[in-house]
Structure 1
Amino acid sequence: MNSKSNYAIPAIFERVSKRKFTEQPIAPEILEQLLLAATRAPSSGNMQPWEFIVIDEPATKLEIVRSTYSGYFSKGKNYQYWIADAAVVIVACTNVKRTVARYGPAGKEWALIDSAAAVQNLLLTATALGLSGCWVGGINEQAIKTTLQIPDYVRIIGLVPIGYSVEDASPKSRLPLKWVTHHNAYNVPFYD
């Protein structure tokens, strides 16, 4: 199976991070589909730790942009202004208390993983519905938490700007399966 058309879920193979958007708004029912898809992700003990702050106010989007950076070494100097052009910016959060209440301290990590699965669902659904987005991790979490009045027990796992894209981008290459798979033990090839 070499062609992505042979796969049951084309959105998985078509999804590309895009950073240039039209001014077209997202209909409320489409936005609801994205958020509902996110909440269908698997989670440890079904604790569903994800929470989403949907930002569509231009001033709030710009304030969030001022809490971004382009990489560790930029020291916050290179704001990612393109984010403000998206129809909405979804601040993906993890309510750590939910999972920790059931699993103790280990639940902190599991809650983050569970919320990451929700973001993946959101991005794949966006692709399937003709929208585009990007998972942005280069943020000053504390600054955004202050701006949006997010409590201490809630972690931000990223920003997800979503909109209709003007970019024509192809999926980036991925490592071959033989480099990332193992058979019954680590470093035992599954594929030759």
Structure 2
Amino acid sequence: MDVNQEQKWLKPMENRLSCRSFIKKKIEKEILYDMIRAGTLAPSSGNMQPWEFVIIDNEETQSSIVAQTFAGFYSEQAPMQAWILEAPILLVACANYKRTKARYGDLANKWVEIDTASAVQNILLAGVNYGVYGCWVGGFKEKSVSKLLKLPPYIKPIGLIPLGYPSFIGKPKYKMDPTWITHHNEYNQSFFI
């Protein structure tokens, strides 16, 4: 692979950032489903693909879910993460425990959320190519969201992903140099103690 190809491949990853401010513009259905398709290409334990996604584009349902979030760093004065309401789409990433447990039993508990998070990462990276950004929100009342979405007991919501076109694009945050966190054949002294 030549350097130009490598740089092109890395661009979505380098440009991905968490977006918490959106313009009033709908995401085209084809784009949203292309992003979700990218999610389904993620690796998963035993190829069990435990992810399920609930698309929330209804303001009333979105408001009900946002009311179940915990105040975050960027909304210290608010009882919830109200900025989510700016997003035209709220994607609820869910883990289907039944699907993976059928093969792995209780060992599935360790893997289904990791596998689903991998799918979300692919969705967020695919969005960058379309100018659609999002943010992983993990601070919410799981049981309340499950009830609002009528999820069966074996489906667990693990993340709320507001998606939309950003009102501004900040700079991606600093990322550690790979040499600081890479070890060969055995763990060596970490760069960070």
Normalising by the residue count of structure 1, what TM-score does the alignment of the two structures yield? 0.90
The equivalent of 1:86 in structure 2 is 87
1:71 and 1:103 mapped to 2: Cα distance?
Answer: 35
Give the drift of 1:29: 0.7
Give the drift of 1:111: 1.1
2:167 and 2:190 mapped to 1: Cα distance?
Answer: 41
The equivalent of 1:167 in structure 2 is 168
CA RMSD of aligned residues (A): 2.3
* Residue 117 (structure 1) aligned with residue 118 (structure 2): yes
The equivalent of 1:18 in structure 2 is 19
Q: Deviations over 1:72-126 (max 9, x none)?
A: 9x9xx63001111101000000001111110111111111111011000000001
Aligned pair count reads 186
The equivalent of 2:43 in structure 1 is 42
CA contact (8 A) 1:183 1:189 kept: no
Q: Which runs of 5+ in 1 are unaligned?
A: none
Aligned AA (1:59): E
The equivalent of 1:97 in structure 2 is 98
4+ residue segments displaced more than 3 Å: none
Greater mean alpha carbon deviation, residues 180-189 or residues 100-109 = 180-189
1:7 and 1:128 mapped to 2: Cα distance?
Answer: 11
CA contact (8 A) 2:69 2:141 kept: yes
Aligned partner of residue 160 in structure 1, secondary structure = strand
Aligned AA (1:42): P
Q: Which runs of 5+ in 2 are unaligned?
A: none
Normalising by the residue count of structure 2, what TM-score does the alignment of the two structures yield? 0.89
Give the drift of 1:7: 5.1
- Map 1:63-78 → 2, pairs under 5 A: 63-71=64-72, 78=79
CA contact (8 A) 2:97 2:155 kept: yes
* Residue 176 (structure 1) aligned with residue 177 (structure 2): yes
Q: Deviations over 1:47-77 (max 9, x none)?
A: 11000000000011100100101359x9xx6
- Map 1:128-143 → 2, pairs under 5 A: 128-143=129-144
1:71 and 1:171 mapped to 2: Cα distance?
Answer: 19
Structure 1 residues 137, 184: closer, same or farther in 2, change over 3 A? same
The share of aligned pairs that are identical, in percent, is 45
Give the drift of 1:34: 1.0
